[in-house]
Amino acid sequence: MYNSLQPLLIVPDVHTCFEEAEKAIARFDIQHVLFLGDYWDLYEDGTKKAAETARWLRESVLNPDRQHLLGNHDLPYLAGINERTQCAGSNTEKVAAASRYVNRSLFTRFYVYRWLRANVIASHAGFSQHFLHPYGHHHEHLANQARQFHECAIGGLRHPWLEQGARVGNYGNQAGPLWIDWDELAASSSGENAPHQVVGHSPRPEVLTAELKATKLVNLDASVRGANSYAYPGCVGVFEDSTLSVFCTDGQRLRTISLS
């Protein structure tokens, strides 16, 4: 859980646009930063950009005021390419270029989720009801699921959080918190005691929210700067006192969402 009484800046998907992310961080001048993952793969990028992103990310991870979540696009670069970690956009050449700066020894510094408050959780894509505890004991329940996650990813072994779900062809398996699509998340996280969630992963032209019973979901992966193409990061969130304020990266406030 994030225990600081100071505000927390939340940066969604970067996709190699780390210069834009750093400009936003400097503009808001907030000490504590949480990244939601997906640092690599802008699809048209190549080995040079993969290496530059890796160099920036290594320095960012060593900053004690920053926390970094994993996205599905990060798995091949940090855990190596295997059956469980392969992702569209990556390839062996780009992974090899990035390996000059990042490797498996850094992998354990990346989290799958972080608690922002007792009832507010941040992850890359979100936890469906399948992964949450039916009676609200989510902290211990998810901590138990987290065991051996990193080892399974490196070894190419099955772990429920590595499941990609039907949307990418794995029919019969629930998509895990690195892969689940927003529409699937919004349809499957409506438990009576489910926590509020802040996610990225599913690019949309605007910030999306969903209210399910007493639960709120927020998708920050919004291209609010580009009319016809996605810009990364499109916006950022500032979490303080159980309130999430969403801004364009130029500082314009878009909306304020209570997560109490």
- What is the residue-wise DSSP string for 78-135? HH-SSTTT--TT--HHHHHHHTTT--HHHHTT-BSEEEEETTEEEESS---GGGS-TT
- Sorted by where each begins, the domain ranges of the chain are 8-258
**With contact defined as beta carbons under 8 Å apart, do 10 and 220 qualify?**
yes
Q: Which residues of 8-42 are buried (b: 16+ CB within 10 A; e: fewer)?
A: bbbbbbbbbbbebbeebbeebebebbbbbbbbbbb
Structurally, what CATH architecture does the domain formed by 8-258 represent? 4-Layer Sandwich (3.60)
Quick one: pLDDT at residue 214? 80
Quick one: pLDDT at residue 168? 59
The rounded average pLDDT for each run of 10 residues, N- to C-terminus, in the chain (260 residues) is 76 95 94 97 90 97 96 96 92 96 92 95 95 91 94 94 74 82 83 88 89 88 63 90 93 92
| Polymer length of the chain | 260
Quick one: pLDDT at residue 227? 47
Quick one: pLDDT at residue 46? 93
Q: Which of 193, 89, 81 is nearest to 138 (CA)?
A: 193
Quick one: pLDDT at residue 243? 96
